[in-house]
Amino acid sequence: MSQPLPTTLPVTFRPGRTRAVLLTIGVAMFAVITAVALMLERLGTGERVSFVFTAALLSGVLVLLSRPKVVADDEGVTVVNITRTRRLAWAEIVKVNLRPGDPWVFLDLSDGTSMPVLGIQPGIAKESAIRDARALRALADSRGTGAERV
């Protein structure tokens, strides 16, 4: 059964539920740690600042973890992982893989390497990740080297 292609490009794939959870926890953690720092009477100004700085640092890590996404357009795919962004032409993508037990999608590339794509991960939204992986696979097959294979 073939997966229908997205009707309009560009299309963005991202783990929406995971992102919402991470950002919510980040904001809540920052608020709680900052409130505790302000309520503790024995803390000096420097200690309060260090509490808020630590809260901001921890929240920043959660924001980085919520960053992954995949943007597919007419020319190719932009893969945004935690700290790196890479642009791939459709011809560079040989295969889109999401095997049972994989934490996220992997792209087999024409240079013989494999690239993780954290923007499609089955974590807390397995059905959505499978649907997104199939849509990305259909796009890669129709526009990339998959279209040239027999």
Decide if 96 contacts 131 (C-beta within 8 A): no
Same domain flag for 121 and 134: yes
Same domain flag for 58 and 119: no
Q: Which residue has the tokens 């934490």?
A: 103
In a domain, 140, yes or no: yes
In a domain, 113, yes or no: yes
Boundaries of domain holding 104: 11-15+68-147
Same domain flag for 52 and 117: no
Confidence class of residue 9 from pLDDT cuts 50, 70 and 90?
confident
In a domain, 4, yes or no: no
Cα 131 to the chain's mean position, in Å? Answer: 15
Cα(23)–Cα(105) distance, integer angstroms: 22
Same domain flag for 60 and 75: no
Same domain flag for 36 and 72: no
Same domain flag for 82 and 134: yes
Same domain flag for 90 and 116: yes
Instruction: Please report, to the nearest 10 degrees, the dihedral formed by the alpha carbons of residues 40, 43, 46, 52 taken in order.
Output: -20
Smallest Cα–Cα separation from 84: which of 117, 114, 123?
Answer: 117
Cα(34)–Cα(139) distance, integer angstroms: 46
What's 90's DSSP letter? G
Same domain flag for 45 and 86: no
Same domain flag for 55 and 114: no
Confidence at residue 149, expressed as pLDDT on a 0 to 100 scale = 41
The pTM of this model reads 0.81
**pLDDT tens figures, 14-63:** 988 889 999 999 999 999 999 999 999 999 999 999 999 999 999 999 99
**pLDDT tens figures, 88-99:** 999 999 999 999
Confidence at residue 145, expressed as pLDDT on a 0 to 100 scale = 61
Same domain flag for 72 and 141: yes
Same domain flag for 86 and 120: yes
Backbone angles phi, psi at 90, to 5 degrees: -55, -35
